[in-house]
Structure 1
Amino acid sequence: MNVGIVAAGPVHDIPDLKKVNHIDYWIGVDEGANVLYESGIQADLLTGDFDSIEPNRLESIKQNTKAINQFSSIKDETDLELAFLEAIKLKPTTVYIYGATGGRLDHAWVNVQLLTMFAEKHLDAWMVNSQNEMTVKYPGKYELNKDLSYPYISFLPLSEVVNGLTLQGFRYTLEDQDINQGSSLTISNEWSEKKGTYFFNSGILLVIKSRD
Structure 2
Amino acid sequence: MPIFSGTGGATGGAEVVEQPATVRQAEMKRIIFVMGQELYGAMREFMPMSTEIARARCRYRCPRKRLLRRVYDRMLLLPASLVLFVLNGPARAEFSVCNQSLDVLNVAIGYEEDGEFQTEGWWSVGANRCAEVIREPLKNRYIYVYAEDVFGQPVTEGSIPTCIGAKRFLIRGTKDCWLRGHKQADFFEVDTREQERWTLFLKNN
TM-score (norm 1): 0.28
In terms of Rg, which structure is larger? 2
TM-score, structure 2 normalization: 0.29
Kindly indicate which of the two structures has a greater share of residues assigned to helix. Answer: 2
Q: Which has the higher contact order (CA 8 A, sep 6+)?
A: 2
